[in-house]
Amino acid sequence: MLSQTSWADNDLEYKVEVQSTVGNGDYNPLWLNANKYGLSSLDTSNGYLRAALSRPLCNDSLRQWGLGYGIDLAAAYNFTSSFVIQQAYVEGRWRKSTLLVGSKELPLEMKNGELSSGSQVLGINARPIPQVRLSYPDYVDVPLTARWLQFKGHLSYGIFTDDGWQKDFTDGKASYTENVLFHSKAGFLKLGKPGSPFSAEVGMEMGCQFGGHSYTYSSKGYAEKNVNSVTLKSFFRALVPGGNDGDDANPDQNYKGAEGNHVGAWLARLNYEQPSWAVHVYGEHYFEDLSGMFQLDYDNYTTGSKWMEKHGHRFLLYDFKDMLLGVELNLKRQSWLNTLVFEYIYTKYQSGPIYFDHQKYLPDHIGGKDAYYQHWIYTGWQHWGQVMGNPLYRSPLYNKNGNISVQDNRFYAFHLGLSGDPMSGLHYRLLATLQKGYGTYSTPYEDPRRNFSLLAEVGYRLPERMAKGWQLKLGLGYDHGSLLSADATSNNNLGLQLTIIKNGAIHF
């Protein structure tokens, strides 16, 4: 990546950015709008003027405590809103722990944010959510392990900010929500002898939508709003899944899911580091419920009057198919090619195509059709129309019918990313993705739809003797196929994106 300037610990950093995108086709190409923290548009002609002012927390790296803050605003055209508060936060650090209050762009875990297709739970594709977040952002030693074992993680609660957009997008034709709350948590362990080139990381990310109001739409119009629970117990059930989804609407229903919309993923990575090169092999398994989390489901209920009771220890074992597998190669002493990422992602299985809850005289239970990124009360794992995970799940913004849902969550894809620095100040990246989508279990495509997406981007930091703090970035994006077209026919999206950046410091 382009080198960054370091400032004194009492300086404020500023950044002014102008971006303009032009193109043709149904939409702005995938990699010109995806994984930009939601500051992007599907319109073929769009742009923004962005200004940010911040004091990084790392300015206090020599102290036991630290203070950071930032404000990041954008005036945009042909976006979901014309004025965007992209970031606004204050954060404090005491030794290794950090408390964040506000909305901030947060990096991916275990993946290269510039070249990866993205994480499936806590990605970089949607706008940041205002939240209170307590974390150990960097690995800390676990006591009594002689530094062989380290830990990091976070816990947060926040609130979604897209109520107005949801009402406008649905236009009285589909379900929407308002005042929905957000929860996320993650924990990671790192195992490795100090100084050894080998290390292994494993952990979990989880997210939850809870509380708020849900307006369900049908052909007869909107039903009365479902007031979802917002109590101390609700906050605890977001942390530890439990309770009943829809307590207020159906308090006596037999089949009870956990309160709120819970999503999660297992993550793991193996690392091998050498002075001149490094390789990282990683995997991610996404899940929507306990059966997907552990690949097991209880299947030994009784019949008759005691049909809701469990009896014995029989379980249904699911296939381990859905996964994201990746490898990252770093060539530290190379210039033309210094980072390579390859990923394979498969989401077609979703615990299988059958969902059947046991009944009074049919005791078998099969918990399939997991419907990734979907939910029957909430509008799914999205914010401002962009999925909050991996953008290869087709975001609701693409929908022409006003339905806030992911209409392609069963797919497989191959993804390649390359980057390098051929000369001082010059940086490039290439992304190429081949995807085949099948729709969803409830609404499958008649024929599978394919898509090929390409990005070629080059950035140049002008020499300081010429123009201190100035950068230019030019990106060319291209889509071909029917998966991202407006009418499901094969089409081309072509776009050109120019970004001009000026950053510097305000000295005190």
Q: What is the pLDDT of residues 284-302, one digit of tens each?
A: 999 998 777 887 776 666 6
**What is the predicted pLDDT for the residue at 307?**
59
How far apart CA 17 and CA 428 sit, in angstroms, is 19
Quote the percentage of the chain above a pLDDT of 90. 73
How far apart CA 35 and CA 28 sit, in angstroms, is 13
With tokens 């404090």, the residue in question is 92
Most confident by average pLDDT, 205-209, 288-292, 363-367: 205-209
> What integer is the mean pLDDT of 58-78?
94
Cβ within 8 Å of residue 259, ≥6 positions away: 210, 228, 229, 234, 237, 238, 241, 242, 243, 244, 245, 247
> What integer is the mean pLDDT of 226-236?
85
> What integer is the mean pLDDT of 480-498?
92
Q: What is the pLDDT of residues 164-195, one digit of tens each?
A: 999 999 998 899 999 999 999 999 999 999 88
CB atoms within 10 A of CB 314: 12
**Tokens encoding 402:** 């006003």
How far apart CA 111 and CA 105 sit, in angstroms, is 15
State which amino acid sits at residue 44.
T
**Tokens encoding 415:** 């993804």
With tokens 């190379």, the residue in question is 334
* Residue 347 and residue 420 in contact, taking contact as beta carbons nearer than 8 Å: no
The SS3 assignment for 267 reads strand
**Tokens encoding 286:** 């996404």
Q: Assign 3-state DSSP to the chain and report helix, strand, coil percentages, each to 5.
A: 5, 50, 45
How far apart CA 55 and CA 18 sit, in angstroms, is 21
148 HSE (CA, 13 A, CB side): 3
> What integer is the mean pLDDT of 219-248?
76
Burial of 229-262, coded b for 16+ CB within 10 Å and e otherwise, reads beeeebbebbeebebbbbeebeeeeeeebbbbbb
Residue 137: name the closest of 112, 118, 154, 155 by CA: 154
Cβ within 8 Å of residue 313, ≥6 positions away: 300
First to last CA, the chain: 29
Q: How far is CA 275 from CA 115, 193, 200, 331, 370, in A?
A: 22, 17, 18, 9, 44
The SS3 assignment for 306 reads helix
The mean pLDDT of the chain is 90
* Residue 77 and residue 47 in contact, taking contact as beta carbons nearer than 8 Å: yes
Paired strand residues for 65 = 94
| C-alpha 183 chain-centroid distance | 14
Q: Regarding the domain with residue range 12-506, which homologous superfamily does it belong to in the CATH classification?
A: Capsule assembly protein Wzi (2.40.160.130)
In order, the DSSP letters of 490-506 are -EEEEEEEEEEEEEEEE
**What is the predicted pLDDT for the residue at 362?**
66
* Residue 11 and residue 32 in contact, taking contact as beta carbons nearer than 8 Å: no
CB atoms within 10 A of CB 74: 21
Cβ within 8 Å of residue 435, ≥6 positions away: 392, 411, 412, 413, 414, 450, 451, 452, 453, 481, 483
pLDDT band at 224 (very low <50, low <70, confident <90, very high): low
Lowest mean pLDDT among 412-421, 471-480, 487-496: 487-496
156 phi, psi to nearest 5 deg:
-145, 155
Residue 457 burial (CB < 10 Å; 0-12/13-18/19+)?
buried
More confident residue, 156 or 242: 156
pLDDT band at 310 (very low <50, low <70, confident <90, very high): confident
**Tokens encoding 470:** 């100035």
Cβ within 8 Å of residue 503, ≥6 positions away: 5, 13, 14, 15, 16, 469, 471
Q: How far is CA 425 from CA 136, 138, 460, 461, in A?
A: 33, 29, 5, 5
Is residue 66 predicted with pLDDT exceeding 90? yes
